[in-house]
Amino acid sequence: MPTSEDSPATPTPPVRGLQRSEAQQRAALLRVQEYDVTLDLASSEETFGSLTRITLDSQAGETFLDLKPTAVRSIHLDGAPLDVDTLRAGRLPLSLTEGRHELVVDAVMPFRNDGEGLHRSVDPADGRHYVYGMSFMDAAPSIFACFDQPDLKAPYTFHVRAPEDWVVIGNAPGTNPEPGVWELERSQPLSTYFVTLVAGPYHLVRDEHDGIALGLSARQSIAADLERDADELFTMTKQCFDEFHRLFDIRYPFGDYHQAFVPEFNAGAMENPGCVTFRDPLVFTSKVTRAVRIQRATTVAHEMAHQWFGNITTPLWWDDLWLNESFAEYMGVRVTADVTEYDDAWVQNSFARRQWGLVADQRPSTHPVAGNGEEDALAALQNFDGISYAKGSSILKQLAARLGDDVFLAGVRDHLTRHRFGNATMHDLFDSWTRAGAGGFGRFSGDWLVTAGPDRIRLDRIAGELVRTPPAEHPADRSHALRLATAPAGGDWSETPVEVAGERTPVEVPTGQAVLIDPWEDTWAVCEPDELTLALLPGLVATTTDPMVRAGAWNSVRSGFHHAEVAPDAVVDLAEAWLPVETQDSGLTYTVPWLLRSAVPLAGDPAEAASRLHRVALSAAQAHEPGSTLQLGTVQAAVATAADPALLRGWLLGRDLPDGLEPDLELRWRIWVRLAVLGETDREELDAALAAEPTAVSRVEHTRAVASMPTVAAKEFALERFTGAVSVPNYELEAAGTGMWRESQRALLEPYVERYAHGLAAAAAAHSGWVQADVAEDFFPTCMVGDEAMALLAPLRTDERLPAPVRRRLVDAVDQLERRNAVAARFPALAARASLGGAG
Ligand SMILES: [Zn+2]
């Protein structure tokens, strides 16, 4: 077991998934008619029985079955036993004759604890066990024997035996004929990656809308929290169903619609037909900002969009999976803004997602939205990033604007109708759009979908021109239809449409006015502020009534900072003016953490910068309406920037908090984490806080707080989780990693850069699945500027001992450090002073 940096790195075999050519051969050979799956979840806490009966039609030929069991009891093909010892690396070779066959696999499968397969976990609050299935993207064979590729769809019938106090929900409606026995109806044809099962003593809430049975579920220990939000969740689900039915004109075909909030889920959610799974921190156990509620609402709508786009019609191969995500991301925000109470969803999206996409698109690892040409299923997973979601969504939004909504939607309907319960490609969709009256997809696809990287658009004030610069590594000649926002000092913004084509586009800009390029996100480009605009912005934020313009201003400034064109102190000046006047808590929720990570530590005097932000956050919290989420957002900012332990200790006890605010569990943990960073708490106090309320939230935040303390013991605590010496669930792992590295503790953390670099190969080997690459990113020494750290970290990008997904994350993480060093180099006096310490 690797325990420290001295352990030899275990070489990891290259991770290889299903190859496209293998999938094509198998799809040409066989059709799966039906899966009948019997699972026994009641006999053990470590494994479960899995009996799969597959009916298929085949040509004569050689192929293989996917199966990742703990043990195989027997395999029969048309009644004759097969040699189970031929199972190698999850594949069982099959020799098929032409015609109908029945394959029966009786196996024992492992309950997993990495968020994939059938994940089983224990609720720390009450010791109850919960199970859910996550088949995406290659985990189905660790639940049942199958032909695991997206284009071999078949209906499923599940029979489940479970402990008697459990409920079982799957992709199709079910009954519970006797205690512990669950029979699910035959489902519609599904890809293997959609198959799920949610089983355990879950708390259920039910409703109905337009003939569709609706359900919500969560752990018993958060039942009251689910009940409190059930009305909001059901209401938006109903509103979204009505809107999707109107937009697509195709009835939801998967029976019931259940939304299960499940523990330790890796992603935000998974769109399994009829039974969507969500990470259960989305059941709010404390008061949250509106931004966080919008995030949940757009996730709900995103997964609903997938029921049509992705679940009815599914990509033929993983290289088109971007289209699923881009489409669901676009529709999720659009429908949330159009029909739910969250009509400001596009503002939240601008604050939360724009930079995620733009930064990803400027990394060395950038890739085209479409046609990444991925031949390997597992490699394709690494492209689930800001490009596939935020950029792809932006491109589809542009397309809808250019085609007109009628043509856009008519093409989508045609696509979903032609390929109902089947599979299709991007080109099939383009054909549908062409049939609907659109044209010119060659140009559109070439400009936006198959060429990586964003253009930079800047204002040359002297020439009176917008200057468009395509990325040097990815030459392109894109035109941009966008709007400029211009405003005189202290005045109102006005908008001017511009068509940017060619390298230079003349624009009329009134002398002395601030100019924001594309704040309404009509196009996809990096638009930095010029010097005059940057100087005017702090004076303009108070009179900027359009929240998209404020979000656009921040995206512009963040882009400038990313390119070391905007000084950290200019960012802090803007933040100080803006924080008290921001009217959307989305701005605070997503901008303040960025400020504290990026600009504040590199400011002339980081402690003073943090203190300035703390002062304005505090007075804003007093000024905002008591009990408002805006007040909560400013208090969260005040906690994160606090340097006075007495103030924090008072708040912990509910003393001197702004009116209308309670120190609920989440706020108390925010305070404990801040006290930990400041070195103003100890392990004993944190352990006592966990023991007093041992919930899932507490466990994660306790880990974050302990790892945040400025002590060797705290950093060793974090590293034990990194190396796998202490095995913890995914959320605690993330909290240990991101808690460990603190700006104000750089001297203490110096030796840990080497520990990270030398221990990474063993750490990667100690973790599996999605978590493996996450652990490399979460524990990366993000705050350690300087040549020494770079010399240790940069070579990891090409270290062949590391799995490819880990190296990909390192490419991005090292790029971020280089950007940071560039800011320090461009503003050297500031960076030199910043190294003396500052805000954590
Ligand atoms: Zn999605």
- Would you please indicate which residues are annotated as catalytic (active-site) residues? 303
> 659-670: b or e for each residue (b if 16 or more CB lie within 10 Å)?
eebebebbbbbb
Asked whether the beta carbons of 77 and 103 are under 8 A apart, the reply is: yes
pLDDT at 13: 39
Q: Higher-confidence residue: 205 or 323?
A: 205
Instruction: Indicate whether 777 pLDDT > 60.
Output: yes
Average pLDDT in the 619-638 region? 97
| CB of 204 closer than 8 Å to CB of 215 | yes
pLDDT at 645 exceeding the cut of 90 = yes
| Cβ–Cβ < 8 Å for 314, 423 | yes
CA of 152 from ligand 1 middle (Å) equals 20
Q: Tens digits of per-residue pLDDT, 93-109?
A: 999 999 999 999 999 99
| pLDDT for the residue numbered 439 | 87
**Cα distance between residue 654 and residue 659, in whole Å:** 10
What separation in Å is there between the alpha carbon of 329 and the centre of ligand 1?
7
**If you measure from the C-alpha of residue 394 to the centroid of ligand 1, how many angstroms do you get, rounded to a whole number?**
15
What residues does 459 pair with on adjacent strands?
466
pLDDT tens sequence across 569-582:
999 999 999 999 99
pLDDT at 828: 67
- SS3 for 633? helix
Q: How far is the CA of 310 from the centre of ligand 1 (A)?
A: 9
- CB neighbour list of residue 750: distance below 8 Å, 6 or more residues apart: 784
Cross-strand pairs, 495: 485
Which pTM was predicted? 0.95
Distance 276 CA to ligand 1 centre (A): 11
Phi, psi torsion values for 131, nearest 5 degrees: -130, 140
DSSP structural state of residue 287? -
- Read off the tokens for 259: 């939304």
Mean pLDDT over each residue of the chain, to the nearest integer: 94
Predicted local confidence at residue 837, as pLDDT: 43
Average pLDDT score over residue span 448-472 = 96
pLDDT of residue 718: 98
The Å distance, Cα 353 to ligand 1 centre, comes to: 14
- Taking the centre of ligand 1 as the mean of its atom positions, its distance from the CA of residue 429, in whole angstroms, is 18
How far apart are the C-alpha atoms of 349 and 581, rounded to whole Å?
Answer: 20
CA 200 to chain centre: 26
> With contact defined as beta carbons under 8 Å apart, do 278 and 259 qualify?
yes
- Ligand 1 centroid to Cα of residue 190, in Å, is 16
Q: What is the average pLDDT across 758-769?
A: 94
Residue 421, SS3 per DSSP: coil
- Element at 42 (helix H, strand E): none
Using CA atoms, how far apart are residues 677 and 808, in angstroms rounded to an integer? 30
CA 116/CA 135 separation, integer angstroms? 7
Q: ∠ CA 486-488-490 to the nearest 5 degrees?
A: 120
Whole-Å CA distances, 442 to 251, 438, 446, 449, 476: 32, 11, 6, 10, 14
**287 close to 632: Cβ distance less than 8 angstroms:** yes
With a cut of 50, say whether residue 838 has pLDDT above it. no
d(CA 559, CA 362): 10
**Run of H or E including 216:** strand 212-218
Using an 8 Å Cβ cutoff, are 817 and 789 in contact?
yes
pLDDT single digits (tens) 540-565: 999 999 999 999 999 999 999 999 99
Distance 40 CA to ligand 1 centre (A): 30
Are 642 and 648 spatial neighbours (Cβ–Cβ below 8 Å)?
A: yes
pLDDT of residue 442: 87
Ligand 1 centre distance from Cα of residue 26 (Å) = 27
| Block residue for tokens 């402690």 | 607
Q: How far is the CA of 281 from the centre of ligand 1 (A)?
A: 18
235 CA distance to ligand 1 centroid (A)? Answer: 21
Tens digits of per-residue pLDDT, 297-310? 999 999 999 999 99
- Ligand 1 center to 544 CA (angstroms): 34
Residue 604 backbone phi and psi in degrees, to 5:
-50, -50
- Per-residue exposure over 237-258, b if at least 16 CB sit within 10 Å of its own CB, e if not: bbbbbebbeebbebebebbbbb
**Six-digit token pair at 124?**
């720390």
Q: Distance, CA 273 to ligand 1 centroid (Å)?
A: 12
Residue with tokens 């034990």: 720
The rounded distance, in Å, linking the Cα atoms of 643 and 648 is: 9
| Per-residue confidence (pLDDT) for residue 827, from 0 to 100 | 84
What pLDDT, on the 0 to 100 scale, is given for residue 372? 64
Q: Ligand 1 centroid vs 790 CA: distance in angstroms?
A: 35
pLDDT tens digit sequence for 693-714? 999 999 999 999 999 999 999 9
Average the pLDDT over each of 25-29, 259-263, 317-321 and give the range with the smallest value. 317-321
What distance in angstroms lies between residue 834's CA and the mean position of ligand 1's atoms?
40
Q: How far is CA 479 from the centre of its chain?
A: 30
Query: With DSSP H G I counted as helix, E B as strand and the rest as coil, what are the percentages for the chain, rounded to 5?
Result: 45, 20, 35
pLDDT value for 395: 96
C-alpha triplet 688, 694, 695: angle, nearest 5°? 140
Question: Ligand 1 centre from 325 Cα, in Å?
Answer: 5
pLDDT at 737: 98
pLDDT for the residue 166: 98
pLDDT at 380: 76
CB atoms within 10 A of CB 135: 26
How many angstroms is it from 270 CA to the middle of ligand 1? 7
What is residue 46's DSSP assignment? S
Give the tens place of pLDDT for each residue, 145-170.
999 999 999 999 999 999 999 999 99
Q: For the chain, how far is it from start to end, CA to CA, in angstroms? A: 33
What is the reported pLDDT for 349? 98
**Tokens read off for 612:** 């300035």
DSSP per-residue string spanning 732-799: HHHHHHHHH--GGGHHHHHHHHHHHHHHHHHHHHH--HHHHHHHHHHTS-TT--SHHHHHHHGGGGG-
User: Could you tell me whether strands 480-487 and 47-58 are parallel, antiparallel, or unpaired per DSSP bridges?
Assistant: unpaired
What's the pLDDT score for residue 768?
A: 84
Contact 624, 630 (CB under 8 A): yes
Instruction: Name the residue with tokens 């030929």.
Output: 61
Answer left, alpha or beta for residue 364, where phi above 0 means left and psi between -120 and 50 means alpha: alpha
Residue type for 71, please?
A: A
pLDDT of amino acid 383: 79
- Model confidence band, residue 371 (pLDDT cutoffs 50, 70, 90): low
- Return the DSSP state at 50: E
Does residue 201 have a pLDDT over 90?
yes
Spatial separation of the C-alpha atoms in residues 714 and 703, rounded to whole Å: 10
Radius of gyration for the alpha carbons in the chain, expressed in angstroms and rounded: 27
Q: Do the strands 212-218 and 257-262 form a parallel or antiparallel pair, or are they unpaired? A: parallel
Tens digits of residue pLDDT in 804-831:
999 999 999 999 999 999 998 998 655 4
Q: How many CB atoms lie within 10 A of CB 102?
A: 15
> Residue 16: is its pLDDT beyond 80?
no
